[in-house]
Structure 1
Amino acid sequence: LVRSFPINSLDFTFSIYISDFFQSKHEAEKKEFLKIEEALRREVTLLRGEQETNKARIRELEQKNDDLERHERNNQQEVTDLEQKINEMTEKLTLLENELAEKQTTTEEMYRLREEMRAAERPLLMVGPLRAERQDDTPEEPTPGDQQKQKPQFISRSSASVESVKSNGVSCGTRSSKDSTGNENSEITTTPITLSGGDGKGFASCVNRIVKDLMLKVDRLEGILTGLRVQPVRR
């Protein structure tokens, strides 16, 4: 019994030491675990805060993205409207340009027709008197007895006839015809016809030739006037 007592006391002391060691180790590990747990909790808290912040930023970005998409759709719609307006304005400008070109063409045509009418009215000032004179200016053939006494004559139907004498002694007659209102319409300068030896037949043939030339000129002027009148009507 004396010998067993120390053995039991040693075992008990060793067991107490071991229990204290493991208990202190357990406490140390527990403290370390608590520290780790606390650090993890803090980290989790930070991560949750960051997550909430990221969620808020994501929501803001989504809202901004929606706003940008809406603005983009609005811009596309505005661009489409502007393109449509530009096309309409281009069509209107094209129509206005065509109308302006037609107006200019019409103005030029009217100006040309006025000029043609004025040019057509000018021959009337000569055709009318010549047509009337063609009936009255047919010369009478002189008799042989009057050939010696006949002097140079000029065909005249107007109220005024001017004769000018040149330096060589040859006279020229200027014939001016008047219409019913008294206005002078045209002037025709005629070459004098003189009798040198009393050849009546030569004088008559010369006068007839002059009259025929005048009639041909009148007919030609009438044809030109008719063509000018018909041409504007066709256009």
Structure 2
Amino acid sequence: MAAAACCRVLALMAIMLVAGRVSADPDMLQDICVADLASAIKVNGFVCKSNATADDFFSAALANPGATNNTFGSLVTGANVQRIPGLNTLGVSLARIDYAPGGLNPPHTHPRATEIVFVLYGELEVGFITTANVLYPKIIKKGEIFVFPRGLVHFQKNNRKVPAAVIAAFNSQLPGTQSIATTLFGASPPVPDNVLAKAFQIATPEVQKIKSRFAPK
């Protein structure tokens, strides 16, 4: 009896595992699923629209340099599902990052994707930091590639006196970006001053001064 009961339990577990694999198929279930960005229905991704065209799979957004006349001297131009609806369910996206001389793409993370960059022109100081607080820095030049692991804090800095640019690829249709400084000092509602003061070991007036620089315009 005990052996028979054990076999029934094992058989039930096997059926559950198979059923779980069937219901959680990670692969696409159709050829295309062009995102309906106007739909009020919210899912983990976007619902499909019925009137897809070739233009849903096209963008010229990365063809030209972006304007870098801002605080950080850099601009990220995304080519994700929000700009190219045909990327929905495909798990990939691109971005172009342009840097003025001395420009910085500040420390940030992509919670949903690994990033790989290809240098179009110029030279950059790049690096990522592991959860053990180890920095992996590198100088990369035209034609070279560098990888930033998913979720880890990373940055790019143009130390030269000429512009630079990269094409970045992600294994997500919408990788998300959290800029560390903006997230902490520009959040809405704001992170309490005493939390930031203790975390950064600075006085409350210094926290308020930094917050003023990240206040929504």
**Interval of TM-score (by shorter of Structure 1 and Structure 2):** under 0.3
- The higher relative CO (CA closer than 8 Å, separation ≥ 6) is in 2
Whichever structure has more strand as a proportion of its residues is 2
Whichever structure has more helix as a proportion of its residues is 1
Q: TM-score if structure 1 supplies the norm length?
A: 0.22
Q: TM-score if structure 2 supplies the norm length?
A: 0.23
